């Protein structure tokens, strides 16, 4: 049991113990993916609770392509300040935090109205009635 409280390392990342919080979408970010007080409070509580490594919920990397409601975003520089604040908050407790990046693409089921799908070198407008058959390699769409 005491082993759990010993320092560990993932590459260059030194962790104060072996507790990790797996990526968990909290549905608490704003509509455009920005931080809220509730989200800061959750991550602070995890750090206070001695979680050595916190993985954020998945964060969308393309503004128009958001796989789920209330998820964090990281698609432009407007996030720098608030994620710096989040990182500083967690570091106060000597915990570490990493962000899970996500691109839902054709697997997204949330808000599948008009949105941009990136397909290899092309981007297509994806409409609500567009479907991709299971046996395709991912580079063709039936619209
Ligand atoms: C509410 C909820 C949100 C989750 N969000 C994510 C996520 O954003 N990214 C991810 O990779 N896994 C996500 N997961 C999966 C968890 O990280 C974890 O792998 C899963 O719950 C299995 O672990 P457990 O058996 O300890 O619950 C989520 C799970 C739950 C219950």
Q: Is the pTM of this model over 0.85?
A: no
Q: Which of 38, 39, 1, 29 is nearest to 17 (CA)?
A: 1
Measured from the CB, is residue 25 less than 6 Å from ligand 1? Answer: yes
| Per-residue confidence in pLDDT tens, the chain, 143 aa | 689 999 999 999 999 999 999 999 999 999 999 999 999 999 999 999 999 999 999 999 988 888 999 999 999 999 999 999 999 999 999 999 999 999 888 777 787 776 666 654 444 454 444 554 444 444 433 32
| Probe target for ligand 1 pocket from 24, 28, 33, 57, with the most ligand atoms within 8 Å of CB | 24
Measured from the CB, is residue 23 less than 6 Å from ligand 1? Answer: yes
Q: Which of 88, 87, 91 is nearest to 15 (CA)?
A: 91
Contact present, 96 and 53 (Cβ < 8 Å): yes
CA of 95 to the centre of ligand 1 (A): 20
The crossing angle, in degrees rounded to 10, of helices 37-48 and 80-91 is 30
């Amino acid at each position: 049991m005491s082993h759990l409280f010993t320092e560990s390392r993932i590459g260059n990342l030194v962790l104060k113990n072996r507790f990790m919080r797996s990526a968990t979408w909290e549905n608490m970010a704003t509509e455009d993916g920005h931080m809220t007080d509730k989200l800061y409070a959750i991550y602070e509580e995890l750090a206070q609770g001695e979680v050595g490594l916190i993985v954020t919920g998945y964060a969308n990397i393309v503004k128009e392509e958001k796989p789920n409601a209330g998820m964090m975003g990281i698609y432009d520089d407007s996030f720098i300040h608030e994620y710096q604040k989040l990182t500083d908050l967690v570091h106060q407790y000597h915990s570490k935090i990493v962000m899970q990046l996500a691109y839902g693409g054709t697997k997204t089921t949330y808000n599948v109205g008009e949105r941009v799908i990136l397909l290899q070198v092309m981007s297509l407008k994806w409409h609500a009635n567009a479907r991709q058959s299971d046996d395709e390699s991912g580079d063709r769409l039936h619209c």
